[in-house]
Structure formats: C-alpha cells, structure tokens
Structure 1
C-alpha cells in the first residue's frame, strides 16, 4: 500500500468511526468517487511538480507554462470537488438526524 493509499484508507476509517451508522447504499458511490478524486489530485500534483521543474530550467517555454496553469486549475477544481464530497459524507448523518 502506497503512502497516499494509506492516507486515504485512514480518512475512510476516520469517517466510518465518526458516524453513528454505517454508510447507506447511496453514500457508497460518493465514497468511491471521493477516493478516485483524491487519487486524481495525487496524479495531477505529480504532473504539476514535473512541469514546475521544467519551468525552473527554461522559463521561456510557453507550452509548459500553459500546461502548468491548466494543471493547477484542475487540482483546484478537484480539491473543491473532493471537499464537497467529504462534507456530504461527514454531514449526512447530522442532516438525516435533523429531519427525524
């Protein structure tokens, strides 16, 4: 298990322990999407680091600069998406309890 996979596993375990009930059938796909999104962020971060290294060696490379900006935007969007999914998973029990 890689370091990132271990971190994701620990977050899922933390989520599971913080809830008073198990995940519902509708929440499982959200959890799967969350893990996929976090994996995507990890891949995009590696791409960003490589492009950043290239930019430091050749500042006039317009293609690398454009790719660097696009990757940063994708990381930002994916991070916001993952945060929203995490909030949905964590706050779902509270929302369900308030409706009862």
Structure 2
C-alpha cells in the first residue's frame, strides 16, 4: 500500500473489487447571502453532514464549519464524481437542516 500526503493529510491507496484509487477532494463553500452560523447550528450541521457521508459511503476526513463558510475534505470511490459528491452533500444537508429548524 502506497502512502503519501495531500494537504497535510496522510492518504493511502484504497481498492474495491476492480480498482485501486486515491481520491481526496477539498471543498469550501459559503451559505446563501453569507448567513452566519451560530454555535448550536454548527454542531447540528456537522451531525447532518456526517450522517449523509455515512449513508452515501463518502468518508469525511475533515469538516470545519466557520461563522460564514464550510471547509470539508472527503474521500470517495471513483464512481462518485467530485461534483456529484458536492451536490449530494449540499442538497441533502440543506434540506435536512431546514426541516430540523422549521419543526
């Protein structure tokens, strides 16, 4: 197994039945209108994103939610493109977050 680092994180090759791969993606995004996240909402959002990662087999290596933006480093399989990964996380996290707040 080959090891190296990317953005300071140790990464290693992973494999499934037909492939060997090393895919890590770093995402940074801001909420609409740069809305500020208060502390209880940050923790809620971390749990929601962690659950989405677990459900969709996306390993969340690092997740930091600042006041007005979100940093996330993920590992996923080659069958999920980085844009699909981002789409899954952002859309489902927003939907679950607003459903939780509104109820």
User: What is the TM-score of this pair, normalised by structure 2?
Assistant: 0.32
Structure with the higher fraction of residues in helix conformation: 1
Which of structures 1 and 2 has the larger relative contact order (alpha carbons within 8 angstroms, sep 6+)?
1
Structure with the higher fraction of residues in strand conformation: 2
**For the pair shown, which has the larger CA radius of gyration, 1 or 2?**
1
